[in-house]
Amino acid sequence: MMGLIVALLVIWVVLAVLGFVVKGLLWLAVLAIVLFVATAAIGWVRRNITSK
C-alpha cells in the first residue's frame, strides 16, 4: 500500500513540474498539487492508523 502511495506522490510531482514548465498548463500544476496533498494526507492517516 505504501508503495502505491509513494508512486502516486511521484506522479503528482512530475505532473506539477510539467504544468509549471509548459506554458498554458498551469491548471495541470494546480491539479497535481491538490492531488499530491490529498494523497500525502491519506497516506499519513493510514500509516498512523496501522501503527496503533
The pLDDT value recorded for residue 9 is 93
Domains in the chain: how many in total? 1
Residue 27 DSSP label: H
Higher pLDDT pick, 10 / 51: 10
Give pLDDT tens digits for 1-45: 788 989 999 999 999 999 889 888 889 999 999 999 999 999 999
The pLDDT value recorded for residue 47 is 84
Q: Are 25 and 41 in contact (CB under 8 A)?
A: no
Rounded-to-integer distance, Cα 24 and Cα 10, Å? 22
Rounded-to-integer distance, Cα 7 and Cα 31, Å? 17
- Band (pLDDT 50/70/90 cuts) for residue 49 is confident
The pLDDT value recorded for residue 52 is 64
Q: Which domain holds residue 22?
A: 2-50
